[in-house]
Amino acid sequence: MKSRLLPVVICCAMVACGPGHSRTEIRETRIVPSAAAELSPQIRTEERAAPRAQEMPPLTWQAPEGWVRMPSTPIRIANFHVGDPANAECYISVLPGNAGGIEANIARWRMQMGQPARLAPDEIAALPSIAVLGRRAPLVEVTGHFADPDKSSASDMLLGTVCELETQTVFAKMVGAEATVRAERDAFIAFCASIEMAQQ
């Protein structure tokens, strides 16, 4: 089966924003193969059927102190190692359309942590919300054991948010050792709030 090509933006400039923080601006758009391994079959099917998204303005964000910037990947436009030692990771990704929808993505994240997949609509509505790109987006918090044995620890935690825009969906996700992720919860929320569309 042929992989759908997704528009993904990659980092090419970083400007200092003060001690311990950085402001990163994405200036280039490139078409790359879909990273299908990141998506469940249901989400891949729904995403393939979605119309090609219009180009979104570049994003900027402010990285919390102590987060180590890593190279971007086809699906991660921002990529960080978190903790000392670095036993958690955090990234931003952008997919066209609704990328399967909020409910399906929350279910996918819960399955990655070994938890029952589906939350009822009223449970999703009851999740706390955080600021992302001038909107309110649900904050997902799941503990358990991460599905990737190479990254799993004795107790893991996932923080994530899904922000639906008109033609794209922006994801921010942190996963790793529970103690580290829990300690970085406020930093993650501030990181999400710092995401902005760059001025054209």
163 alpha-carbon distance from chain centroid: 9
| Distance (Å, whole) CA 180 – CA 140 | 16
| Distance (Å, whole) CA 168 – CA 30 | 15
**159 bridge partner residues:** 141, 174
CATH number at residue 126: 3.40.1000
Does the pLDDT at position 10 exceed 60? Answer: no
Q: Which amino acid is at 144?
A: G
E strand or H helix that includes residue 153 = none
Query: What pLDDT does 118 receive?
Result: 85
Does the pLDDT at position 199 exceed 50? Answer: yes
**Structural domain for 58, as ranges:** 5-197
| Distance (Å, whole) CA 138 – CA 157 | 16
Does the pLDDT at position 94 exceed 80? Answer: yes
pLDDT in tens, 109-152: 999 999 998 899 999 999 999 999 999 999 999 999 988 877 76
Q: Which residues of 14-51 are buried (b: 16+ CB within 10 A; e: fewer)?
A: eeeeeeeebbbbbeeeeeeebbbebbbeebbebbeebe
Please work out, in degrees rounded to the nearest 5, the angle formed at the alpha carbon of residue 138 by the alpha carbons of 141 and 180. Answer: 30
Nearest to 170 by CA among 92, 107, 91: 92
What mean pLDDT is predicted for residues 75-80? 95
Q: Is 0.75 surpassed by the pTM of this model?
A: no
Tell me which of 128 and 12 has the higher pLDDT. Answer: 128
- Evaluate the CA torsion angle 9, 75, 162, 53 in order and state its sign: positive
Count how many domains the chain has.
1
pLDDT in tens, 17-70: 444 555 544 333 333 333 333 433 333 323 333 334 446 678 999 999 999 999
Confidence band, pLDDT 50/70/90 cuts, at residue 195: very high
pLDDT in tens, 143-187: 999 888 777 677 999 999 999 999 999 999 999 999 999 999 999
Query: What pLDDT does 32 receive?
Result: 36
